[in-house]
Amino acid sequence: MSQVTKTEERKLLATAVATAVAIAKQDAHEAAAKFFQEKLGGRDQYACGFAWVTVYEKGSSKLGRELIKNGFRKSYSGGLQMWNPSQFGCQNVDTLEAGAEAAARVLTERLGVKAYAGSRLD
């Protein structure tokens, strides 16, 4: 049985995180678009706000460094966050939260760490 070198391990982790984040963003956008059309009738209306995904991982860990390379930032409340993972162009908090929840689900499934969706009103 061959052993994986540290360089190969880093490359595998980098690829896994980049793939997971890309899929999470895509799923987040699709979920937000679906919510926007089905629940809001394609109109940006009702409560405005923000949504994000939090992964409670140190920025200095191997996984944390890869998440930062893929768009996460250190959070004041601990862990790493990505704001508006859906990158959907609206202000409705429910739409953005639907995207954040989809992204959190993908990150949890693909990276094996618990990711949380969060939101707040503006």
Are 92 and 45 a contacting pair, CB within 8 Å? yes
Domain annotation covers residue 35: yes
Domain annotation covers residue 20: yes
Positive or negative CA dihedral for 39, 84, 53, 107?
Answer: positive
- In angstroms, the CA 102 to CA 115 distance is 10
Q: Which domain holds residue 99?
A: 6-121
Domain annotation covers residue 1: no
Domain annotation covers residue 91: yes
Q: How confident is the model at residue 3 (pLDDT cuts 50, 70, 90)?
A: confident
Domain annotation covers residue 85: yes
- In angstroms, the CA 52 to CA 79 distance is 12
Domain annotation covers residue 27: yes
Domain annotation covers residue 56: yes
Q: Is the pLDDT of residue 2 over 90?
A: no
pLDDT tens digit string along 37-92? 999 999 999 999 999 999 999 999 999 999 999 999 999 999 999 999 999 999 99
Domain annotation covers residue 111: yes
Give how many domains the chain has, as a whole number. 1
